[in-house]
A = this chain, B = another copy of it.
């Protein structure tokens, strides 16, 4: 992706005849600062707290917008809820998710990516994106578990 995220976002909006509002700027800013995954509710609380009003609906609407624009990606937690992370200058990666503490470890593996491409071709499937999530326990939690 390009250098200045806010700039890129603005250009994107412009090209679609959409407007850059305070809320949109703030939400993207928060996403950029938080280097981990953030839930819609966290965004709502964080921004509603510091600054003036921000509706939950706006959070979801903006997140959709950003996702569609390809600026953020969504991850699904085991309980069905979701989190978002920005994609500016972050290479593609997948996740290991701790079922106990919800901690997320990022990983990426070129061989796996390549195999996916090949498999898709085999099935004459046109891949758009994928989700590769390994659920289990992080080091800390698995130690805690065996200690019991």
Contact = CB atoms under 8 A, between A and B. Distances in A.
Interface string A59-78: 00000000000000000100
Number of copies: 2
Contact of A137 (B115, B125, B135): B125
Nearest to A133: B131
Contacts of A80: 76, 80, 82
Interface in A114-128: 115-116, 119-120, 123-128
Helix, strand, loop or mixed for chain A's interface? strand
A109 B121 CA distance: 14
B124 A135 contact: no
21 contacts: A80-B82, A105-B125, A107-B123, A111-B111, A112-B115, A112-B116, A116-B134, A120-B136, A124-B139, A125-B134, A125-B137, A125-B138, A126-B137, A126-B142, A128-B137, A129-B134, A129-B135, A130-B133, A130-B134, A130-B135, A131-B135
